């Protein structure tokens, strides 16, 4: 008797079962994304003593832990940040920042100066900017918006934080 009623009850709800299955599949596909936390775009410029920095890189280290973000400075002093690939943005939160800009000895800080067989690298900005604890650079990346963060670097050493 049970087997007689089972096919009828499934047939009665078949359309709803199919619709529910499709809905579950669509939600799972939409929800997947790239499997990483949400990120916000971060771009900006880096200058040194009022002039665009033509070479270098930035690293954002999250204050509360998590994956860091990295960006490269282009010839015009602009950068964009990425966390899981080179331009996918930064997970919202507060970050300590370090910036390095190395060139070969005697170079002008242009990308073509960066590699010279026997010359050792020389920083074209004060080296404390490349020290996470002494750079004095802290930024907040806001969720759900494009973040433009400029870094006007100077020869003035940042004040120690208490």
Q: Taking the domains of the chain in order of start, what are their residue ranges?
A: 1-32, 42-153
What share of the chain has pLDDT > 70, as a percent? 67
- For 42-153, which CATH class? mainly beta
pLDDT band at 61 (very low <50, low <70, confident <90, very high): very high
Residue 26 or residue 36, greater confidence: 36
Better pLDDT: 113 or 159 = 159
Looking at per-residue pLDDT, the higher value among 20 and 140 belongs to 140
Q: Is the pLDDT of residue 28 over 80?
A: no
Give the integer Cα–Cα distance in Å for 15 and 106.
75
Which residue in 48, 52, 91, 49 sits closest to 70, CA to CA? 91
State the Cα–Cα distance between residues 152 and 50, nearest whole angstrom. 7
Residue 33 has pLDDT above 50, yes or no: yes
For position 6, what pLDDT does the model report? 45
């Amino acid at each position: 008797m049970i087997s007689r009623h089972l096919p009828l009850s499934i047939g009665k709800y078949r359309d709803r079962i199919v619709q529910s299955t499709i809905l579950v599949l669509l939600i799972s596909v939409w929800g997947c994304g790239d499997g990483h936390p949400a990120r916000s775009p971060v771009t900006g410029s880096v200058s040194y003593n009022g002039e665009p920095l033509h070479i270098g890189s930035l690293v954002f280290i999250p204050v509360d832990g998590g994956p860091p973000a990295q960006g490269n400075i282009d010839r015009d002093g602009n950068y964009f940040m990425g966390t899981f690939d080179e331009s996918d943005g930064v997970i919202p939160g507060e970050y300590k920042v370090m910036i390095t800009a190395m060139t070969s000895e005697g170079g002008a800080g242009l990308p073509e100066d960066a590699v010279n067989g026997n010359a050792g690298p020389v920083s074209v900005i004060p080296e404390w900017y490349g020290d996470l604890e002494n750079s004095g650079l802290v930024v907040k990346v806001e969720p759900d918006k494009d973040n433009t963060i400029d870094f006007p670097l100077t020869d003035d050493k940042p004040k120690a934080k208490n």
